Amino acid sequence: MPDIATDRWTRPNLLGLEGLEADELLALLDAADTFFPYATGEGDPPQTLAGRTLLNLILEDSTRTRTSFALAAERLGGRVVQFHATTSSMDQKGETLIDTVRTIEAMGLDAIVIRHKQRGAPHRVAEAVRCSVLNAGDDAHEHPTQALLDMLAIRRHLGRLDGLTVAICGDVRHSRVARSNAYGLAALGSRAIFVGPEPFLDGLDDLSVPVETATDFDAVLPECDAVMMLRVQFERHKGLAFDQDAYVRGYQLTAARLARAKDGAPVLHPGPVNRGLELADEVADGPQSLILHQVTCGVAVRMAALTLCIAAAERTNS
Ligand code: CP
């Protein structure tokens, strides 16, 4: 049985990376490294969630996050309840989010994983329940387990997370992934540079850490140890003018453009990828792409986050 140092993490909830100390981030990342050998279903994982029940309350579309939270919990011996929004009393009969989570918690829950279109919804749920709450993405605010899996993938590839320069390029304005990475990378001593056309760099006043921004991707790349591309989130644009051809010319990561970055710089993307828009196929499927490795890291990170948060909640509630 691998040693999971649950006492290095004291929070019952994981709502965001804003305000987390480096030691807390490292506790999660080190635990994720310990779980990594079990992330693809191999081996005999420690049953840290035996007897525990998780509600997967995914109220926006998701493939990776929904699936990997469920696999993480089940492989550690937990039970997963999938919430079916479209046939629920919340969607069909007007039950509130808070009444919904308190009702299901009354049947016995150890954790709620929530993705919601409203910023702060996970925080409101956390105030209403005693079990752990993990944010799986709230509007364009935070997606903490995504940033943790990004950082785990970078650390496993480059061997460190301090002193790095990471370009985070694309639709930053609408990206909870960019915000959570900005907090995490800053806390661990690395530099994030947000890159994109001006309209994609607006609306960042809510960030509580300073971030650099740049519109010239080609000029930034020679400084970069890693390059994180973001999905253009058309569904959040609400009429924002967007010139796709100009975007491809200035920001699509092609092999030729990637060659400007430091030698062998890894390429990340949270998925899903708009192939041929922010990322050329030759890069998405190329030797420097960590995209599928990120997905595997996601299971390990969610194993760690569930184990540590539930253990902390049990200590708090005992
Ligand atoms: N990266 C991410 O959150 O993917 P999904 O929307 O598929 O969960």
Express each pLDDT in 177-197 by its tens digit: 999 999 999 999 999 999 999
Beta bridge partners of 169: 195, 229
Residue with CA at minimum distance from ligand 1 atom 1: 270
- Kind plus residue range of the DSSP H or E element containing 132: strand 132-138
Q: Retrieve residue 101's tokens.
A: 């989570």
Mean pLDDT of the chain: 97
Residue 31 has pLDDT above 70, yes or no: yes
Q: Using an 8 Å Cβ cutoff, are 194 and 214 in contact?
A: yes
Virtual CA dihedral for 169, 171, 177, 183, nearest 10 degrees?
70
DSSP 242-310: --HHHHHHHH-B-HHHHTTSSTT--EE--S---BTTTB-HHHHTSTTB-HHHHHHHHHHHHHHHHHHHH
Annotated catalytic sites, by residue? 64-65, 93, 115, 143
Give distance in angstroms: CA of 315 to centre of ligand 1.
Answer: 31
Express each pLDDT in 53-91 by its tens digit: 999 999 999 999 999 999 999 999 999 999 999 999 999
Residues with CB under 6 A from ligand 1: 62-65, 137, 146, 270-272
Share above pLDDT 70 across residues of the chain, in percent, rounded to a whole number? 99
121: Cβ contacts below 8 Å, ≥ 6 apart: 97, 114, 138
Residue 1 has what pLDDT? 55
Express each pLDDT in 275-316 by its tens digit: 999 999 999 999 999 999 999 999 999 999 999 999 999 999
Residue 96 has what pLDDT? 98
For ligand 1, what atom is nearest to the CA of residue 61?
A: 6
- Kind plus residue range of the DSSP H or E element containing 10: none
